[in-house]
Amino acid sequence: MIERVGFVGLGSQGAPMAQMIARAGFELHVWARRPETLQAIEQAGAVPETSLKAMARSCQLVGVCVVDDADVEAVVLGDNLLAGMAPGGIVAVHSTVHPDTCRRLAQQAEPHGVTLLDAPVSGGAQAALSGTLAVMVGGDPEAFEAARGVFEAYGDPVRWVGEPGTGQLCKLVNNLLFTANIKLASQALEMGEALGIDPAALAEVLPASSGRSFALDTWMRLRQAKIPMRVQKLLHKDVKLARDAAERGNVDIGALSNAADQALELLSSETRG
């Protein structure tokens, strides 16, 4: 039974996930490059660690929620998580990265007696705090069952979806659809306003109607201010990864891909540095 959990990557998504782990009664250990990042989570009862290796040595499961593939590899490999974690440990990659990265890291973890799960999440910080993140998990099903209680601290649904890398594939399908829907939402709002509908009325009616979507809500919120550069960069990354996965699988994503490209152009025109 997992009792001691580590977490690295206390950003806008990772911090609320870590908070929910602590609230669920797990002994939480954390590490961050910047000590000031730890202050809020320490107040929630987390134990700060001096290094990733030390954190891994203390924990049965470590969640990783950093930005990209290079960050995930840096956290897991070298004198870091795999070097410190005892046999039987689990590393859960919550970042959105290439499926092949997780497959490769899972293979590299095996000689250490460690299981690596790819467990990307979707829904945002508020969903984490309400325990309703979608958690899509690829990897060993027994390790998934062992980790399920931790995932359920912030997630519902929590779903095993297949072999290593499959969780990432699910997340990439989701993010490609989300990005494409941003363009559709933008065009729908432009259409309504061009036809003379009061923008305030549209903003109230559409989210309560059958055309509602997470992308619509997000676009209506984002268009009130310039789009942060980090949002555009993350979506560019995820669309590129999704397109690569489709090409490798010989899957036609023409309409999705075209709409996603138009959404990225739209976001680029609205981006602030």
What's the average model confidence in pLDDT over 14-33?
96
In the predicted model, is pLDDT for residue 226 greater than 80? Answer: no
Q: 90 has which bridge partners?
A: 61, 115
Q: Please give the pLDDT value at position 40.
A: 85
Closest to 103 in 3D by CA, of 170, 8, 52, 168: 168
Q: Please give the pLDDT value at position 222.
A: 83
CA 135, CA 157: separation in Å to the nearest integer? 6
Backbone angles phi, psi at 49, to 5 degrees: -115, 155
Closest to 145 in 3D by CA, of 115, 170, 176, 124: 115
**Final residue belonging to a domain, choices 129, 162, 195:** 162
Q: Please give the pLDDT value at position 265.
A: 94
Closest to 31 in 3D by CA, of 2, 58, 60, 13: 58
Model confidence band, residue 148 (pLDDT cutoffs 50, 70, 90)? very high
The two three-digit tokens of residue 230, written as one number: 């980090």
Q: Please give the pLDDT value at position 215.
A: 95
Model confidence band, residue 229 (pLDDT cutoffs 50, 70, 90)? confident
Model confidence band, residue 37 (pLDDT cutoffs 50, 70, 90)? confident
CA 69, CA 76: separation in Å to the nearest integer? 11
Q: How many domains does the chain have?
A: 2
DSSP output for 62-77: EEE--SSHHHHHHHHS
95-105 pLDDT, tens digit each: 999 999 999 99
What's the average model confidence in pLDDT over 196-207?
95
In the predicted model, is pLDDT for residue 271 greater than 80? Answer: no
Do 149 and 68 reside in the same domain of the chain?
Answer: yes
Do 32 and 131 reside in the same domain of the chain?
Answer: yes
Mean pLDDT over all residues of the chain? Answer: 95
- Angle made by CA atoms 173, 181, 137, in degrees to the nearest 5: 25
CA 166, CA 147: separation in Å to the nearest integer? 17
Q: Please give the pLDDT value at position 227.
A: 74
What's the average model confidence in pLDDT over 186-190?
95
Do 203 and 75 reside in the same domain of the chain?
Answer: no
The reported pTM is 0.94
Range of the domain at 51: 4-162
CA 230 to chain CA mean position, Å: 14
Q: What is the CATH classification number for the domain harbouring 262?
A: 1.10.1040.10
User: Where are the strands (E) in 94-144, listed by range?
Assistant: 115-118, 121-122, 133-138
What is the helix (H) or strand (E) element at residue 139, kind and residue range? Answer: none
Closest to 39 in 3D by CA, of 19, 17, 58: 19
What's the average model confidence in pLDDT over 194-208?
95
What's the average model confidence in pLDDT over 27-39?
90
Burial classification of residue 134, based on how many CB atoms lie within 10 Å of its CB (0-12 exposed, 13-18 middle, 19 or more buried): middle
What's the average model confidence in pLDDT over 62-88?
97
Do 151 and 193 reside in the same domain of the chain?
Answer: no
Active centre residues (catalytic): 171
CA 202, CA 218: separation in Å to the nearest integer? 14
Do 40 and 126 reside in the same domain of the chain?
Answer: yes
CA 251, CA 88: separation in Å to the nearest integer? 37
Q: Please give the pLDDT value at position 272.
A: 57
Q: What is the CATH classification number for the domain harbouring 119?
A: 3.40.50.720
